[in-house]
């Protein structure tokens, strides 16, 4: 059962090949068996999950036919889940029990999904490796000595190891697409505002976007169909019609024009990953797509612009974690300043402190114009580059990451080296466009991802290309040995 995709699970439940309770029990047993070596879960909702499964079975017996009814998944631990700890993988929120459900969780509950628990991540989504978690690093199931990517590390690991068929994630600078590439998964970051951010703990509010990690594009389409749409509780939610993502999967690729930015194929890219990308290009050509060389000239400035703006927003968003209203509070504070200082110092990890300090510096008097304002101007130029490119092409294709997953601990003391690994993913967040990573090959036993980017609200187009590619390749069906 654990080898089935989400779509096949849905069909099997409809055909009564097994019950939601049988499937949930099977996956809970796998979590108990394998997660101690992977560390993908922070909280496992065993009792609640079985209750949800029983409720789904009862609804199916009564004639309900929802596509996701009884389908198990798990949530990245920054989405609020009522009566369940929502920690953001931080000591700060280790004792925080959310009093309500995030919109995305609410929509999955309405669809009848079974939540197996909350997944590990980089603390407050700040990291690209999964190593900044208060609960310890998650391990890449393809090679447990290597990072799984981040910040949606636990989401990627749990899906890749077949502990759960799909998981929610969040993507502020590549935090879905990069771990998807490192773990042989399909990961989608929709257009900014496509899925409500209400109930998602903020890191960088103008970048954060909920999305999914699953085995293939069809599964991602089912998940997006259930969650996309306007939410009046979220001021950044887009009032745009929702496409039929599953219906668009079968469209042929004849006549599709895909751009290849020259900036994605320079000396920063591991040549072996470049070969995988070019193999994917050849496959898509056989399916009818044509390719056009394009340029995104401001791409080299994307990483510094992103980290200035994102850190500035983080310094503002994390000011609320002060030890007063909720979360960690230091013992016996002498006064209010001591309470603030020690509570935050004791509870935040090094990377979170680093970004708060960077962001506060960039926003301070005398440096706002030199750093923050300049970064925002670069952001607009990057957006303009994409808008201009999409006048000539339907999609953009390139590598998801410049390198293979690195060994655990090798970049902990060199944060800039880790930041530079985001060079191909952060531009989509700066512009707010959708992006998707799909498995396209293997190097030394490790998966490699290829990234698609599309114009605003054209997720259906990306999912269509990925699905057609996956109909003629089997990289997405590969599983790590032992899982």
Query: What six digits make up the tokens of 355?
Result: 């970004």
Checking if the pLDDT of 163 tops 90, the result is: yes
Burial of 54 (0-12, 13-18, 19+ CB in 10 A): middle
Residues 6+ positions from 173 with CB-CB distance below 8 Å: 128, 204, 207, 306, 310, 422, 425, 426, 429
The per-residue pLDDT for range 100-144, each reduced to its tens digit, is 999 999 999 999 999 999 999 999 999 999 999 999 999 999 999
* Residue 175 bears catalytic tag: yes
Tell me the average pLDDT across 23-32.
Answer: 98
Indicate which residue of 40, 87, 133, 151 is catalytic: 151
Q: Please report where in the chains the tokens 């389908």 appear, as a residue.
A: 71
What architecture is domain 6-253+435-477?
A: Alpha-Beta Complex (3.90)
- Residue 14's pLDDT is 96
Checking if the pLDDT of 352 tops 90, the result is: yes
Tell me the average pLDDT across 39-44.
Answer: 98
CA distance 125 to 174: 11
Indicate which residue of 10, 19, 40, 76 is catalytic: 76
- Residue 413's pLDDT is 87
Checking if the pLDDT of 275 tops 90, the result is: yes
The per-residue pLDDT for range 172-222, each reduced to its tens digit, is 999 999 999 999 999 999 999 999 999 999 999 999 999 999 999 999 999
Predicted confidence band of residue 28 (pLDDT cuts 50, 70, 90): very high
Q: pLDDT > 70: what percent of the chain?
A: 100
* Residue 152 bears catalytic tag: no
Checking if the pLDDT of 26 tops 90, the result is: yes
Indicate which residue of 115, 175, 196, 437 is catalytic: 175
CA distance 439 to 160: 12
- Residue 231's pLDDT is 98
The per-residue pLDDT for range 60-69, each reduced to its tens digit, is 999 999 999 9
Q: pLDDT > 90: what percent of the chain?
A: 98
* Strand, coil or helix: 440: strand
CA distance 227 to 235: 17
Checking if the pLDDT of 326 tops 90, the result is: no
Tell me the average pLDDT across 403-431.
Answer: 95
Query: What six digits make up the tokens of 198?
Result: 């209400």
Tell me the average pLDDT across 243-258.
Answer: 97
| DSSP element (H, E) containing 428 | helix 426-431
Closest CA to 132 of 123, 120, 124: 123
Predicted confidence band of residue 379 (pLDDT cuts 50, 70, 90): very high
Output the average pLDDT for the chain: 97
Counted residue by residue, the chain has a size of: 483
């Amino acid at each position: 059962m654990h080898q089935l995709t989400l779509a096949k699970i849905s069909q099997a439940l409809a055909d009564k090949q097994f019950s939601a309770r049988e499937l949930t029990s099977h996956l809970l047993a796998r979590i108990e068996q394998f997660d101690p070596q992977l560390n993908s879960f922070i909280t496992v909702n065993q009792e609640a999950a079985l209750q949800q499964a029983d409720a789904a079975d009862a609804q199916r017996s009564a004639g309900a036919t929802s596509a996701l009814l009884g389908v198990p998944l798990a949530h990245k631990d920054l989405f609020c889940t009522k009566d369940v700890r929502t920690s953001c993988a931080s000591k700060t929120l280790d004792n925080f029990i959310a009093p309500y459900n995030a919109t995305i969780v609410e929509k999955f509950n309405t669809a009848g999904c079974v939540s197996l628990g909350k997944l590990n991540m980089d603390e407050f989504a700040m990291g690209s490796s999964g190593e900044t978690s208060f609960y310890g690093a998650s391990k890449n199931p393809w090679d447990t000595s290597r990072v799984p990517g981040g910040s949606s590390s636990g989401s990627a690991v749990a899906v890749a190891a077949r502990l759960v068929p799909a998981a929610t994630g969040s993507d502020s600078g590549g935090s879905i697409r990069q771990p998807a590439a490192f773990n042989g998964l399909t990961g989608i970051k929709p257009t900014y505002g496509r899925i409500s951010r209400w109930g998602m703990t903020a890191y960088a509010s103008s970048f954060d976007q909920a999305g999914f990690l699953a085995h293939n594009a069809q599964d991602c389409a089912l998940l997006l169909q259930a969650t996309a749409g306007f939410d009046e509780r979220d001021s950044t939610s887009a009032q745009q019609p929702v496409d039929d993502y599953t219906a668009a999967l079968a469209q042929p690729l004849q006549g599709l024009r895909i751009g290849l930015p020259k900036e994605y194929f320079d000396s920063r890219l591991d040549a072996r990953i470049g070969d995988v990308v070019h193999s994917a290009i050849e496959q898509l050509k056989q399916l009818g797509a044509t390719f056009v060389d394009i340029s995104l000239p401001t791409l080299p400035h994307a990483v510094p612009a992103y980290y200035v703006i994102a850190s500035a927003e983080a310094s503002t968003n994390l000011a609320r974690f002060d030890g007063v209203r909720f979360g960690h509070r230091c013992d016996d504070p002498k006064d209010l300043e001591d309470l603030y200082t020690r509570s935050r110092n004791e509870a935040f990890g090094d990377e979170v402190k680093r970004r708060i300090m960077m962001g506060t510096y960039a926003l301070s008097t005398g440096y706002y114009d030199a750093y923050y304002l300049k970064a925002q101007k670069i952001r607009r130029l990057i957006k303009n580059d994409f808008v201009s490119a999409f006048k000539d092409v339907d999609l953009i294709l390139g590598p998801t990451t410049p390198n293979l997953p690195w060994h655990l601990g090798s970049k902990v003391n060199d944060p800039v080296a880790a930041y530079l690994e985001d060079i191909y993913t952060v531009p989509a967040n700066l512009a707010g466009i959708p992006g998707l990573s799909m498995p396209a090959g293997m190097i030394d036993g490790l998966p490699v991802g290829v990234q698609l980017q599309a114009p605003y609200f054209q997720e259906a187009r990306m999912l269509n290309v990925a699905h057609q590619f996956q109909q003629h390749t089997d990289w997405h069906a590969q599983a790590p040995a032992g899982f």
